[in-house]
Amino acid sequence: MRTTAAGAESPVHLLDPDTVSTRDLDRHAMAHDASHYLLVPQGVATPRNAADVGALLRRSRELGLPATFRSGGTSLSGQALSDSLLINTRQHFRGVEVLDGGARVRVQPGATVRSVNARLAPFGRKLGPDPASEIACTVGGVIANNSSGMACGTELNTYRTLESMVLVLPSGTVIDTADADADRRLRELEPELHEGLLKLRRRVVGNDQSVRIIRSLFSMKNTMGYGVNSFLDYERPVDILMHLMIGSEGTLGFVAEAVFRTVEVKPAAATGLLVFNTLDAAMGALPDLVSTGLATIELMDAAALKVAQAAADAPAAIRTLPVQGHAALLVEHQGSDAAELSGKRAGSQQLFDSLDLATPFALTSDPKDRAALWHVRKGLYTAVAGARPSGTNALLEDIVVPVPALAVTCGELTRLFHEHHYKESVIFGHAKDGNVHFMLNERFDDPDQLLRYQAFTDEMVDLVLGAGGSLKAEHGTGRIMAPFVRRQYGDELYGVMQEIKRLIDPANLLNPGVLLADEPLSYIENLKVAPTVEEEVDRCVECGYCEPVCPSKDITLTPRQRIVLRRDIAAAEQRGDHALAASLRKDYDYDGVQTCAADGMCVTACPVLINTGDLVRRLRKENANTVAAAGWNKAAENWGAVTAGGGLALTVAKAMPAPLPKAATAVGRALLGPEAVPAYADVLPGGGSRRRERRDPGSVAVFFPACIGTMFGPAEGPEGKGKGSAQAFLDLCERAGVGITVPEGIESLCCGTPWKSKGFSQGYDAMTAKVLDQLYEASGRGRLPVVCDAASCTEGLETMKRLAGADGERYAGLRFVDSVEFVHQHVLGQLTVTAPLGSMALHPTCSSTQLGTNPALLDIAGAVTDDVFVPLNWGCCAFAGDRGLLHPELTDSATNRQAGEINEREFDAYASTNRTCELGMSKATGHSYRHLLEILEEATRP
């Protein structure tokens, strides 16, 4: 591992400090991508626009400073790293503009594939490239890696679907290839390059062997080396240049913007799992299966099937199969509508019937069954990577061979796994393209293991090249395969590639060491080590899936960065670099711990189910200030007085003329502690009403009104002061004739989140004991469900039960239901909407997302108005109980984009499901957010 410090002599210090950070924490946070390589940059630049990037490239050229672009950081081959200058081209480059009714789309390079597809969805269109990492990978990375996926093959990748791009060359020259005179501009601005590309074209076209090699390799998915097929496919230098940029892995220039032709979304689909007795049989059936027009054909070898069948939710078809040499193909037909789909199904039925299969087969269109089948395939990575031994790195390989050679290649790979003792390796992938992946769990800090990895790689390279395949189908050459490009293409085409690089980046400053490398063993340099640190940290595969959903991503750190910094701190300590460890620790407190909303959004995206919020809460617990903890322990004993007092303090504060509110808030701070009401914020309402018990012998549920309703009173409704979510819920139930009980002693109960999020475990335990006991009794020992009117508190109660330790079993019967879900199931059907609204902006919360109540939320909103708007930039507001009060800058950053989108128009109502989130969104948008049930109650009054 290289850990170059940004020493005073480093030229990065000569760059604009407003754009470039040399802080240890920033350098180490960005040192990790999804690959098994690690390089620590000397500086991290965050340009705001393409002009900034151009200026950075010109300046780094003057200074002889190498630079690498980093976007989603999901690359697996080591191409998104630098030990010099790393340029973050994701943060300020997320714009998307839909063109021609969705037929085309103009995109900035930092937009994730998912966000682009979300913008295209209303038009029934999507991007052609379909990498499995779409949640986090960005258009810049997709173009620069020429990424593909399960369905796109070689027909719908970037090379085939990109219409034009704005590119910035290392010289700073900017070319928009859409301009009619782009080729003339290129010739005027870069005459040597223009002429050089023409010469190279003549050289390639005139060499029969080069033409043969290119035709053969690019008839498959192929991301080895440069896309030299551009010389055969295009004549004008500007077109050749644009297509060479595709798959160039940031070594030739910056893609500042791109226009894609989009492809149709085929909403009708039918999926099935063909389980064959042997791999040979599966591969033998492949040509016929391909010819029936299947959209995807995904291979799983015997080892993969064994992993899949061990899952609790494994489909019946494989659950009991005594797997030996079996292999499965997950197949899917897709159609624009039911008629097209049924035509395709009918067309392939005879073939399916004729296959000699190990288990019965049927295609299903049922969304649940289809999801279960896809879960088998997509869960493989999770299962193998998540279960790898602590201290090892997961390395995902990606080869392609001509389809007829796939069976032998897979068999030989399995032999190599056995020979080199890679026990957990499974083979899976895109069989119809001859493209398969396999995972190696490797420990790179052990010299013996490193030798084994080297020996395996040598044999694997021989195997793939011998079969006429390519060593990288879709993940890019990166550092891992750069030394093998010469062997892949031969000396002549390798020379062409070197000349491409010399023409465009003569000083070799863009991403050196990536894509082309002359040093044969460079692929085993700068490898990651994975010190054993903490449970969440050790499991992380650094894939980056969690980054886009994290509310603190634009202000401090992402979940992946919170995790890798724990690794880097441990590694620094192990190396004896205590100064670095101390420097990282110091800044980690604010960036890592204080500004984590602990909302757990990361777990919703993580393939190995890591909730970084749990890690942060534990760190908070370790750091918990004993004085504050004692105060909060006391508060747990007297919660009724505290909430009422806090609410009163806020009411008093509200009523006082400025500047007195600040003084009045001090009352709240004294009562609640400095962490609870940290500073007077205009956003805070007056206090709410006290919670009171209520009995109803015909009750069908126990209601747990959240204490935040007492602390923070309701927002203004159309008729003045609103009634709050608790009263709205009770009124709605009464209107629908649904009996509800509120338990005795409710004013002293809380879901425990304030203690848990701050790491005050004693207070949390005390509250847990009290709450679970009282709710257990009140619900008739779990007979009735317990309903809560704040989504985060419903989630908090669930967590309380889950963490109840030895007592957990006693409370196993307790069921917690969010009020939105309860109203959806038991109340909505009895109501009549008497005063529908014209429109509503809806803010689902992190908790409603994790509780799975968003569909109910949308249904209720849809009952009140036909025009429900959830912004495409929706994300957790990070108010997170008190984080928005303690660190308003966190909520400001998390809500900035969505607030902008919402405020593009006016809505009749603004709704959410949690009082604190409502406050956060009210502050962000300047509109008064209320609980959805309050709005429903008003719209259904008789």
Ligand X SMILES: Cc1cc2nc3c(=O)[nH]c(=O)nc-3n(C[C@H](O)[C@H](O)[C@H](O)COP(=O)(O)OP(=O)(O)OC[C@H]3O[C@@H](n4cnc5c(N)ncnc54)[C@H](O)[C@@H]3O)c2cc1C
Q: Tell me how far, at minimum, the Cβ of 557 lies from ligand SF4, in Å.
A: 7
Using CB under 6 A as the binding rule, the residues of this chain from 531 to 570 that contact ligand X are 543
Quote the tokens at residue 595: 């500004």
- Is the CB of 540 or the CB of 932 nearer to ligand SF4? 540
133 binds, among ligand X, ligand SF4, none (CB under 5 to 8 A by kind): ligand X
Smallest distance from ligand SF4 to CB 639, Å = 25
Around Cβ 855, how many Cβ atoms within 10 Å?
Answer: 13
List helix spans (H) across 785-843: 791-802, 819-822
Provide the minimum distance between the beta carbon of 434 and ligand X in the complex, in angstroms, as a whole number. Answer: 15
Q: Does 86 bind ligand X (CB under 6 A)?
A: no
Select the span of 467-475, 604-612, 752-760, 920-928 touching ligand SF4 (CB under 6 A).
Answer: 604-612
Helix axes 208-217, 485-504, angle to 10 degrees: 110
Nearest to 874 by CA among 848, 837, 856: 848
CB 167 within 8 A of CB 241: yes
Q: How far is the CB of 926 from ligand X (least distance, A)?
A: 34
Residue 177, phi then psi, degrees to nearest 5? -70, -10
By CB under 6 A, is residue 512 in contact with ligand X? no
- The residue within the footprint of ligand X, chosen from 41, 43, 141, 785 (CB under 6 A), is 141
Q: CA triplet 690, 692, 697: central angle to 5 degrees?
A: 165
Q: Which of ligand X, ligand SF4, none does residue 602 bind (CB under 5 to 8 Å by kind)?
A: ligand SF4
Say if CB 164 and CB 256 are below 8 A apart.
Answer: no
- CB nearer to ligand X: pick between 35 and 768: 35
Whole-number Å distance between alpha carbons of 702 and 695: 9
Residue 441, classed as helix, strand or coil, is strand
Evaluate whether 808 touches 802 at the Cβ level (below 8 Å). Answer: yes
The nearer residue to ligand X, 469 or 714, going by C-beta atoms, is: 469
568 binds ligand SF4 (CB under 6 A): no
User: SS3 letters for 573-601?
Assistant: HHHCCHHHHHHHHHHHHHHHHHCCCCCCH
Of the two residues 109 and 713, which places its CB atom closer to ligand X in the complex?
109
Q: Is 541 in the site for ligand SF4 (CB under 6 A)?
A: yes
Instruction: From the list ligand SF4, ligand X, none, pick the one residue 66 interacts with, judged by a Cβ distance below 5 to 8 Å according to partner type.
Output: none
Rounded to a whole number of angstroms, the minimum distance from the CB of residue 523 to ligand SF4 is: 23
Which part of the chain contacts ligand X (CB under 6 A), choosing from 71-79, 292-300, 439-447, 583-591? 71-79
180-189 long-range contacts, CB within 8 A, separation 24+ = 182/238, 183/236, 183/237, 183/238, 183/239, 185/238, 186/237, 186/238, 186/241, 187/237
- Does 596 engage in binding with ligand SF4 (CB under 6 A)? yes
Q: Which is nearer to ligand X, 603 or 863 (CB)?
A: 603
Contacts of 166 (CB under 8 A, 6+ apart): 50, 174, 175, 176, 177, 255, 256, 257, 258
Per DSSP, the residues of 225-249 read S--TTHHHH--SHHHHHHHHHTT-T
Q: Which does 562 bind (CB under 5 to 8 A by kind): ligand X, ligand SF4, none?
A: ligand SF4
CA distances from 676 to 354, 597, 631, 679, 698 (A): 69, 15, 11, 9, 38
- For residue 561, the minimal CB distance to ligand SF4 (Å) is 9
Question: How many amino acids of this chain bind ligand SF4 (CB under 6 A)?
Answer: 28
930: helix, strand or coil = strand
Min CB(591)–ligand SF4 separation in Å: 11
Given a contact cutoff of 8 angstroms between Cβ atoms, the answer to whether 125 and 102 are in contact is: yes
CB 381 within 8 A of CB 429: no
Taking CB within 5 to 8 Å according to partner kind, which of ligand X, ligand SF4, none is near residue 550? ligand SF4
Output phi, psi for 716, to 5 deg. -65, 135
Answer for which of 46, 148, 171, 271 binds ligand X (CB under 6 A) is 148
d(CA 333, CA 296): 7
CB of 630 to ligand X, least distance (A): 45
Shortest Å distance, C-beta 657 to ligand SF4:
37
* In the complex, minimum distance from the CB of residue 779 to ligand X, in angstroms, rounded to a whole number: 42
Please identify which residue in 540, 624, 787, 827 interacts with ligand SF4, judged by CB under 6 A.
Answer: 540
Alpha carbon separation from 597 to 617, 869, 882 (Å, rounded): 10, 25, 9
Please give the C-alpha separations between residue 917 and each of 790, 870, 876, in angstroms, as whole numbers.
10, 15, 9
* 546 binds, options ligand SF4, ligand X, none, Cβ within 5 to 8 A by partner type: ligand SF4
Cβ proximity to ligand X, 131 vs 875, nearer residue: 131
CB of 49 to ligand X, least distance (A): 12
Asked if residue 344 binds ligand X (CB under 6 A), the reply is no
Nearest distance, CB of residue 145 and ligand X, angstroms: 4
Pick from 47, 66, 72, 469 the residue near ligand X by CB under 6 A.
72
Q: Does 138 sit near ligand X (CB under 6 A)? A: yes
Among 69, 226, 484, 704, which residue interacts with ligand X (rule: CB under 6 A)?
69
Q: Cα dist. 229→216, 314, 478, 491, 638 in Å?
A: 10, 43, 19, 16, 74
DSSP conformation letters of 99-134: EGGGTEEEE-TTSBHHHHHHHHGGGTEE-S---TTT
Contact between 33 and ligand X by CB under 6 A: the answer reads: yes
Does 560 contact ligand SF4 by CB under 6 A?
yes
Contact of residue 400 among ligand X, ligand SF4, none (CB under 5-8 Å per partner type): none
Percentages helix, strand, coil for the chain, rounded to the nearest 5?
50, 15, 40
Instruction: Sheet containing 699-704: give its strands across.
Output: 739-741, 699-704, 786-788, 816-818
685 binds ligand SF4, rule: CB under 6 A: no
Q: Is residue 247 a contact point for ligand SF4 (CB under 6 A)?
A: no
Figure out which of the listed residues 30, 416, 610, 841 binds ligand SF4, where binding follows CB under 6 A.
Answer: 610
Stretch that binds ligand SF4, among 412-420, 464-472, 544-552, 916-924 (CB under 6 A): 544-552
Q: Which is nearer to ligand X, 186 or 285 (CB)?
A: 186
158 class by beta-carbon count within 10 Å (0-12 exposed, 13-18 middle, 19+ buried): buried
Interface with ligand SF4 includes 606 (CB under 6 A)?
yes
| Tally of residues, the chain | 942
For position 552 contacting ligand SF4 by CB under 6 A, the verdict is yes
Among positions 38, 563, 648, 653, the unique one binding ligand SF4 when judged by CB under 6 A: 563
Instruction: Using CB positions, name the residue nearest to ligand X.
Output: 141
Write down the least CB distance from residue 314 to ligand SF4, Å: 22
The interface partner of residue 42, options being ligand X, ligand SF4, none and the CB cut-off 5 to 8 Å by kind, is: none
User: How far from chain centre, in Å, is Cα 146?
Assistant: 20
Q: Which residues pair with 43 in a beta bridge?
A: 85
Among 6, 25, 40, 80, binds ligand X (CB under 6 A): 80
Supply angle C-alpha 649, 651, 654, rounded to 5: 110
Tokens (6 digits) for 467: 């079969």
Question: Of 420-428, 554-562, 636-644, 927-935, which segment contacts ligand SF4 by CB under 6 A?
Answer: 554-562
Give me the 457-486 binding string for ligand X, x by CB under 6 A, dash otherwise.
-----------------xxx----------
Stretch that binds ligand X, among 69-77, 730-738, 846-854, 931-939 (CB under 6 A): 69-77
Q: Please, is 794 exposed, middle or buried when counting C-beta atoms within 10 Å of its C-beta (0-12, 13-18, 19+)?
A: buried
One of 76, 282, 732, 775 touching ligand X (CB under 6 A): 76
Minimum Å gap between C-beta 228 and ligand X is 18
Interface residues with ligand X (CB under 6 A)?
33-34, 68-76, 79-80, 89, 109, 131-133, 137-138, 140-142, 144-145, 147-149, 249-250, 254-255, 381, 474-476, 511, 543
